[in-house]
Structure 1
């Protein structure tokens, strides 16, 4: 077993990416294709992430990645460290390798970030390293909107103009919420959302991460240079909407009679280490920013 330190460089080792994704796919089946989709959209995992990898001979057995997420938290812009892709190959677990790599990652992050975030199905693995679970909320409201304008289309990523549009809005977006919102971040967004339909409102110059189930609109994120009142968005959806579920704090949507509910996106818990000014607020880290 190599005793070298674990921080690696994709640019210095052209074989590192394939070795990493051999490990990642073993632990998170399907993640490789999501990362490939993001790469096709011009937002590669390798450009955004600093990898910490433990090898057994030439085989990657443990990985923890760190990337930067520019956020607004309680109205203040901060660069948050995102811990992601945490995995150990089956057959090498419960031998202390994860702890070895995580200790180095924490040392690296402590020199750079006041705040770390991650999302996980297994929060107990991160408690010994100073992470704590922070509750999240979804927000529901009743409405009756039939839409007066057919004002949206699905982005076509076979069209280079739509890819350029996505990049422009991701680079210039305002935070979806002043409580917790993300700005000028591409890699996590494109991994999380690049394989899902993205809906564009041309006259608002806004992209919505959303799904419609019967008469319920599920709104996960808005990528736009200015936030709009929710009725403006609903007016451009040409079908009956009777309920809206919002998966971020709706403080910039100008809505009333909203109910907040404890919620876990895909059953994952948000874990935070260090300073987090929004901890006592009702919010959700948007699906498009979860690593």
Structure 2
């Protein structure tokens, strides 16, 4: 507990609110400590630098694999210039060497990570014109304070079918709960599917679809709110709506979000995106 207090004291100075978010996901049945392997430089009981590693199970070009997702890179402001970030990152890379062939992270500062062998892998959004008046079967908003809805969320996350053969997420819960636990999550009983989306006028950004069995695209569209003229898929939709057109872009996720990769990355050079709910 004392080391956790010291760690979150550091992290909260770099990422304000992160300690509160870590406590919030505990109420959703997952824990930061259970998901993240920390690499910390400590001195006199204080955490001065940290980098964490979370396992991220993916399907990449049809092959199921687990990559290491680097997150929460932080150095105490008055300790910079001592090489502490390099020290903890070097320890993380050595630990990962025999465990993961691929590491990923997202950042506003790619230049911090290129010296450690990370490279930028460009992403795309996918756009599809639609003519959708409104839902035939409205979605129900989950209330995660209710045990039955929380159990439903975890069942869907643990049994989800990958949305994409190119880049799909499977069996991941901690990152999803951290990123999406305060967002509106919508459930279709008819499809046994969870939808995450944002309305933008007559457009809709579809962030994620979590289901044990993927519905046909017309079935899903029939559940979405309307009227809609365009859907923007923030994931690779090759299994759901392959007719959607890719558009290169740098994701704005509370600032520019550069996807950095170290090691082999099978989708590289093709249109893809790492969904927001799976980004660290």
Measured against the shorter chain, the TM-score band is over 0.9
Q: Contact 1:206/1:225 (CA < 8 Å) preserved in 2?
A: yes
Q: Contact 1:230/1:255 (CA < 8 Å) preserved in 2?
A: no
Q: Match of 1:20, SS?
A: helix
Whole-Å Cα distance in 1 between the matches of residues 32 and 53 of structure 2? 11
* Counterpart mapping for 1:229-268 below 5 A: 229-256=216-243, 258-266=245-253, 267-268=256-257
Moved over 3 A (4+): none
Q: Contact 1:123/1:269 (CA < 8 Å) preserved in 2?
A: yes
The superposition leaves residues 85-139 of structure 1 with CA deviations (integer Å, 9 ceiling, x where unpaired) of: 1100110112210001111110001110000000001110110111001001001
Residue 6 of structure 1 corresponds to: none
Q: Match of 2:33, SS?
A: helix
* Counterpart mapping for 1:167-246 below 5 A: 167-246=154-233
Q: How far is the alpha carbon of 1:228 from its aligned partner?
A: 2.1
Of residues 259, 269, 278, the one that matches 1:280 is: 269
* Counterpart mapping for 1:66-215 below 5 A: 66-215=53-202
5+ residue gaps, structure 2 = none
Q: Match of 1:283, SS?
A: coil
Q: Contact 2:186/2:196 (CA < 8 Å) preserved in 1?
A: yes
Q: Match of 1:141, SS?
A: strand
Q: Match of 1:53, SS?
A: strand
Whole-Å Cα distance in 2 between the matches of residues 277 and 71 of structure 1? 11
The superposition leaves residues 167-208 of structure 1 with CA deviations (integer Å, 9 ceiling, x where unpaired) of: 001100011211111110111111111111111111111111
TM-score, normalized by length of structure 2?
0.96
Residue 11 of structure 1 corresponds to: none
Distance verdict in 2 for CA 1:145–1:255, change over 3 Å: farther
Distance verdict in 2 for CA 1:240–1:256, change over 3 Å: same
Residue 27 of structure 2 corresponds to: 40
5+ residue gaps, structure 1 = 1-13
Of residues 256, 260, 268, the one that matches 1:271 is: 260
Q: Contact 2:250/2:257 (CA < 8 Å) preserved in 1?
A: no
Q: Match of 2:79, SS?
A: coil
Q: Contact 2:237/2:244 (CA < 8 Å) preserved in 1?
A: no
The superposition leaves residues 55-105 of structure 1 with CA deviations (integer Å, 9 ceiling, x where unpaired) of: 121111100111111100001000101111110011011221000111111
The superposition leaves residues 239-268 of structure 1 with CA deviations (integer Å, 9 ceiling, x where unpaired) of: 201111111111011342524232324211
For this pair of structures, how many residues does the alignment match?
278
RMSD, matched Cα: 1.3
Distance verdict in 2 for CA 1:283–1:257, change over 3 Å: closer
Whole-Å Cα distance in 2 between the matches of residues 113 and 28 of structure 1? 27
